[in-house]
Amino acid sequence: MSDGIRIDKWLWAVRIFKTRSKATHACRNGKVKMDDQQVKPSTEIKAGDIIQVNKEQIELEVKVLQILEKRVGAKLVPDYMEDLTPEENYRKQEIARQTNFEYREKGQGRPTKKQRREIEQLKKFLK
């Protein structure tokens, strides 16, 4: 066996994705990058690599500290990866969570033109 491991397997093992199939799907759709290059799910990684993951509303950046093949508990994750994500990205995610801009009560109907413009403006701010 070589020194590396498949990137999709590692992303699942360190709990960035809930399932390995979601990690594979993210790699295939260009949501996972290494050195600003999109990677395939079968790309081998090794300790020291830096990985960028675009997940939902946040752009994560992590450094591989150790290779592992089996999923570990959440408390053990810091032994295997270092989070390099800027604090600004977490703040944007928190703002989106607090405003919950896409949620509408049932029966409210479509948003008005003014409401739609506010939603679009907020989406631009969060990107």
DSSP structure string for 19-42? SHHHHHHHHHTT-EEETTEE--TT
Q: Which residues contact 7 (CB under 8 A, 6 or more apart)?
A: 23, 27, 32, 34, 39, 41, 42, 43, 44, 45, 51
Q: Tell whether the model's pLDDT for residue 15 goes beyond 60.
A: yes
Q: What is the pTM of this model?
A: 0.74
Selected from 3.10.290.10, 3.40.50.620, 3.40.50.300, 3.30.465.10, the CATH number assigned to the domain covering 1-85 reads 3.10.290.10
Residue 126, pLDDT > 70, answer no
| Annotated domain spans of the chain | 1-85, 86-127
Per-residue pLDDT reduced to its tens digit, 83-121: 999 998 888 888 777 666 566 677 778 888 988 888 788
Contacts with 17 (C-beta within 8 Å, 6 or more apart), sequence order: 11, 23, 26, 55
